[in-house]
Chains A and B, each alone.
Chain A
Amino acid sequence: MNPATVQELIWAGVLVALAAFWPMMSNGYWLGIGVDVMMYTALATSWMLFSGPTHYISLASAAFFGVGGFVVGSGMSDYDASFWSMLALSAVIGGVLAALIGLATLRLSGVYFVIFTLGLAEMIRNLVSWVQNNFLGSRGLYVLTEFTDAHLYWMLLLTAGCVYLLGWIISRSRLGFALRIIGGDETVARHVGINTAMAKVILFTTTGVFGAIVGAIIAPRWSYIEPNQVFSPQLSFFVVIMALLGGSGRLWGPVVGVIPFLLIWNWVDSNFPNQSILVLGVAFLVIVYFLPHGFVGRIEQLRARARGR
């Protein structure tokens, strides 16, 4: 991932400002899509902070997201806690969980890392279900708030904006440069003096924090929370596909992947509900065969060609 420019930050700021008007121009179906877009933009961008430069594909998004939703659900339902305090708590738990996973997976790379994160997310889902059924009562968790879809949209937009800003700062820092070196050759990274373990754990932790925050914010939308729903592994795959479809070369890559993917997904899901999973497969094929560097890679290729002429 290349360092982001000041120009990119200004564009991002303009886009966030414009996006804030969406709830005033839409409602119902389109506002719902807007919430989805913001949710996945925040998730995919925070996924990119770690996986973009290092090329470590994490399938643990659902674990962090689920922890966020579950903490909010459990806190509000069982302990009468406020939404805001649970939002803060879920960020902390998500961060600690990510740091632990990061420390546990330091020696893994490539496909081993992918499988390990997927397995771990599944393990956490089952563990939470088990705790829920045996100790917290199986009455289900209700998240009842006054929030409308528009409120959730704005909160997610703010989160996505924060993720972008953090990513922008990191990409221009020594830490960001260290991650690109790690992505290139971890042996070299160590021999030029980079504490690779520290750099990877820090970045993976930010991914966990934001995953949990997004999960917490989206919880009120469901009203009723059940572990199998918030820890769905499908979410982890969605995040990866959208980020790769957009392209991992730039920090704004995920946005251009999230929007077309969700539009197509929603259209297929409402018209051909039984074939929706097919979209996932086709998306994978399209990425592998036609867009190995995502839309970003294609856009930059076209731009370079135009400049060459």
Chain B
Amino acid sequence: MKQAGAVLSVKNITKRFGGLVAVSNMSFDVAEHEMVGIIGPNGSGKTTMINMISGVFAPTDGRISLRGRLISDAAPQIIAREGVGRTFQLVRLLPGLSVLENVMAGAVYGHKRRWGREAEDFAHSVLERVGMDAMSHAPVSSLTYIDQKRVELARTLAGEPKVLLLDEWLAGLNPTELETGIELIHNLRNEGRTIVMVEHVMDAIRSLCDRCVVMSSGAKIADGTTDDVLSDQDVIRAYLGDDDA
């Protein structure tokens, strides 16, 4: 199962909260330059999975490694410095800081530690890439939702992560914003980034993901190319119930 060149490797991960098993015996690998979607019905443990990879909490059981180095028992700041960057399901910006400073925050403490002029220039270049450089001195409270999401993405990119985790990055966008959003992620994909995305927007998954891991009630029920997985009987049953399968 483990392929050569896996950047991120999740092995037999289980997470219990008291008696509740949120994630049960999950395993999957993410290869370099691959874009993997984690999909599944609400409450199936997708965000819990992302939270364990980024270190919000430690798994009860199992191992997560980044390029062969064990990260599943490390604190979030260590994992961030190792090269895992993430966005949040509900966008999290730093309210007292300007757009530029928000992005600099990502550049200063990551695994490449920039500071001063260098960090500023780099933040500008990342903002330009997400199409937000014109707003770099605006307060974040003045931004629209998609712009906030773009700034958050820019902050994560500024840390130059080896693996980028997007937790429902496209959720809550209106149709035109969604188009912009998908195009932006498409560009990241073309840059050859390694991305794991939790997503509900099926159009986005079809057009963006090379591979999908499907979760239902905390367990993996399918893993394969996006087309194969989306036509899988078990997957359809998990989403729509027995009658439609």
* Binding partners A and B: yes
Name A's B-contacting residues (CB within 8 A).
174, 177-178, 180-181, 183-185, 187-196
Query: What are the 4 A-B residue pairs with the smallest beta carbon separation, nearest first?
Result: A184-B94, A193-B109, A193-B80, A190-B76
B96 touches A192 (CB 8 A): no
B97 touches A192 (CB 8 A): no
B80 touches A187 (CB 8 A): no
Name B's A-contacting residues (CB within 8 A).
54-56, 75-77, 80-81, 85-86, 88, 92-97, 101, 104-106, 108-111, 113, 115, 155, 159
B92 touches A192 (CB 8 A): no
Contact residues in A for B77 (Cβ distance below 8 Å):
189-196
B95 touches which one: A184, A193, A195 (CB < 8 A)? A184
Considering the complex, give the chain A residue whose CB is closest to the CB of B155: A192
Min CB gap B93→A, angstroms: 8
B75 touches A190 (CB 8 A): yes
B96 touches A191 (CB 8 A): no
Contact residues in A for B115 (Cβ distance below 8 Å):
174
Q: A177-B101, A192-B109, A192-B159 are in contact. List 10 more A-B contacts (CB 8 A).
A: A178-B108, A181-B97, A181-B105, A184-B94, A190-B75, A191-B85, A192-B155, A193-B77, A193-B80, A193-B81
B96 touches A184 (CB 8 A): yes
A193 touches which one: B96, B97, B104, B110 (CB < 8 A)? B110
* Most chain B CB neighbours (cut-off 10 Å) among A180, A184, A194, A195: A184
What separation, in Å, do the CA atoms of A189 and B81 have in the docked complex? 12
Given the known A-B contacts A174-B115, A177-B105, A177-B108, are A192 and B80 also in contact in the complex, defined by CB atoms under 8 Å?
yes
Q: Interface of chain A, helix or strand or loop or mixed?
A: helix
Given the known A-B contacts A190-B75, A192-B159, A193-B111, are A183 and B105 also in contact in the complex, defined by CB atoms under 8 Å?
no
Contact residues in B for A174 (Cβ distance below 8 Å):
108-109, 113, 115
**Selected A-B contacts with CB under 8 Å, 14 pairs:** A174-B109, A174-B115, A180-B97, A181-B94, A183-B96, A185-B92, A185-B93, A189-B77, A190-B76, A191-B76, A192-B77, A192-B80, A192-B155, A193-B77
A192 touches B106 (CB 8 A): yes
B80 touches A190 (CB 8 A): yes
What separation, in Å, do the CA atoms of A191 and B56 have in the docked complex? 9
What separation, in Å, do the CA atoms of A174 and B96 have in the docked complex? 17
Considering the complex, give the chain B residue whose CB is closest to the CB of A181: B105
What separation, in Å, do the CA atoms of A237 and B97 have in the docked complex? 29
What separation, in Å, do the CA atoms of A178 and B155 have in the docked complex? 14
What separation, in Å, do the CA atoms of A147 and B55 have in the docked complex? 56
B94 touches A185 (CB 8 A): yes
What separation, in Å, do the CA atoms of A174 and B108 have in the docked complex? 8
Contact residues in B for A193 (Cβ distance below 8 Å):
77, 80-81, 109-111, 159
What separation, in Å, do the CA atoms of A118 and B207 have in the docked complex? 57
Contact residues in B for A188 (Cβ distance below 8 Å):
92-94, 105
Contact residues in B for A184 (Cβ distance below 8 Å):
93-97
Contact residues in B for A189 (Cβ distance below 8 Å):
77, 105
What separation, in Å, do the CA atoms of A181 and B106 have in the docked complex? 10
A178 touches which one: B55, B92, B109 (CB < 8 A)? B109
What separation, in Å, do the CA atoms of A180 and B97 have in the docked complex? 8
What separation, in Å, do the CA atoms of A188 and B140 have in the docked complex? 15
What separation, in Å, do the CA atoms of A193 and B161 have in the docked complex? 11
What separation, in Å, do the CA atoms of A189 and B75 have in the docked complex? 12
Contact residues in A for B92 (Cβ distance below 8 Å):
185, 187-188
Min CB gap A169→B, angstroms: 14
Min CB gap B137→A, angstroms: 13
Min CB gap A170→B, angstroms: 14
A194 touches which one: B54, B55, B109 (CB < 8 A)? B109
What separation, in Å, do the CA atoms of A178 and B97 have in the docked complex? 12
B54 touches which one: A181, A185, A191 (CB < 8 A)? A191
